[in-house]
Amino acid sequence: MSALLLAFDDEWPLAERLAAALAWPLQPVARHRFPDGETRLRLPPRLPARVALLRGLQQPNDKLTELWLAAAGARELGAAQLALASPYLAYMRQDIAFSPGEVVSQRHVGRLLALAFDAIVTVDPHLHRVATMDEVVPGRCGVALSAAPLLGQWIAAKVQDALLVAPDEEAEQWVAAAAHAHGLPYLVARKQRLGDHEVRVSLPSIDVAGRAAVLLDDVASTGRTLVDAAAALRARGAASVDVAVTHGLFVGDAIERLHAAGVRRVWSTDSVPHASNCVSVAPLLARALEEWAAG
């Protein structure tokens, strides 16, 4: 056995797809939670020299502890080269201190991952003032993949004459990549954030009446920005509004509020398990891990 994929039970469907794409054996990381909240992990007792661990970091606080323990245990059990395949990487937004005393979470989570893993592979990380994943995980191999072209392909097949819409300026990079890959037109909305739960989205002076609009973004959490953008598109006469995102976190009643704002369909990749999953990131992750394993 030259390489092995490890995964937790709550991400097993993606793990099976990834293992099949890699043609690697797949083994579980077994967990037992004690009444006091501590967790006991069990790995295969003997590991090959090259191991990849699949772990998305949605709901990250408990998972980071488990991830650290799993990585340390894998080293003890024989993994000389250890990669993390994290389809969704948390704590990437806070890349500077916006006010005195704020902890820059991206910097410190990145350093923590760099201590545990030789390579970190992720999909559409939410980076702003940092150009590459190598900067996030200093001294290690950081790989940032994008699912935008895959979502663009799905949209092109499902929506005739689709108009892609970036709900804010930050989303333009993903919308542009999807649009250029499949010859789709796009526009970029502008967002003003008024608080954690309130935003205001404005559209450029482009006629969207009668168009089939598809809002595309990297992540949907509370969905506030997408809700406001959908309402703005409907108010301007868009014939339909669909939503496609890489990471469908959809906190609380986000899906219900999207539909209430006039969204017809919601699509996401399987980077985060959700009922809206329609596109798999397994082929993207597999190619990156194959390159790492061959290195």
Of all helices (H) and strands (E), which one includes residue 145? strand 141-145
Whether the per-residue pLDDT at 282 is higher than 70: the answer is: yes
pLDDT in tens, 225-275: 999 999 999 999 999 999 999 999 999 999 999 999 999 999 999 999 999
User: What is residue 101's three-state secondary structure?
Assistant: coil
Mean pLDDT for the chain overall: 94
Residue 20 backbone dihedrals phi, psi, to 5 degrees = -65, -40
pLDDT of residue 197: 55
pLDDT of residue 204: 86
Q: Pairing between strand 198-202 and 190-195?
A: antiparallel
Q: Which residue is catalytic, options 63, 140, 191, 224?
A: 191
The helix/strand count (H/E) of the chain reads as: 9, 15
| Class of domain 148-270 as given by CATH | alpha beta
Rounded to whole angstroms, how far apart are CA atoms 164 and 155? Answer: 9
- The stretch 114-118 carries a mean pLDDT of 97
Same fold, 3-146+280-294 and 148-270: yes
Rounded to whole angstroms, how far apart are CA atoms 245 and 268? Answer: 5
Domain ranges of the chain: 3-146+280-294, 148-270
- The stretch 199-218 carries a mean pLDDT of 90
Rounded to whole angstroms, how far apart are CA atoms 67 and 197? Answer: 30
User: What is residue 109's three-state secondary structure?
Assistant: helix
Other residues' Cβ atoms within 10 Å of the Cβ of residue 26: 16
Rounded to whole angstroms, how far apart are CA atoms 164 and 243? Answer: 10
pLDDT of residue 109: 95
Quote the tokens at residue 158. Answer: 């499902």
Q: What single string gives the DSSP state of each residue in 174-222? A: HHHHHHHHHT--EEE-EEEEEETTEEEEE--S---TT-EEEEEEEEESS
pLDDT in tens, 154-172: 999 999 999 999 999 989 9
pLDDT of residue 205: 84
- The stretch 48-75 carries a mean pLDDT of 96
The structure's pTM equals 0.92
Task: Give which of 286, 295, 289 is closest to 51, Cα–Cα.
Answer: 289
Q: Which residues contact 179 (CB under 8 A, 6 or more apart)?
A: 152, 164, 185, 186
Q: Between these two residues, 284 and 198, which has the higher pLDDT value? A: 284
Instruction: Note the CATH number of domain 3-146+280-294.
Output: 3.40.50.2020
Rounded to whole angstroms, how far apart are CA atoms 41 and 18? Answer: 22
pLDDT of residue 117: 98
Q: Between these two residues, 199 and 214, which has the higher pLDDT value? A: 214
DSSP 8-state class, residue 167: S
pLDDT of residue 239: 97
pLDDT in tens, 77-105: 999 999 999 999 999 988 888 889 999 99
pLDDT over 90, % of the chain: 86
pLDDT of residue 93: 85
User: What is residue 11's three-state secondary structure?
Assistant: helix
Active-site residue flag, 191: yes
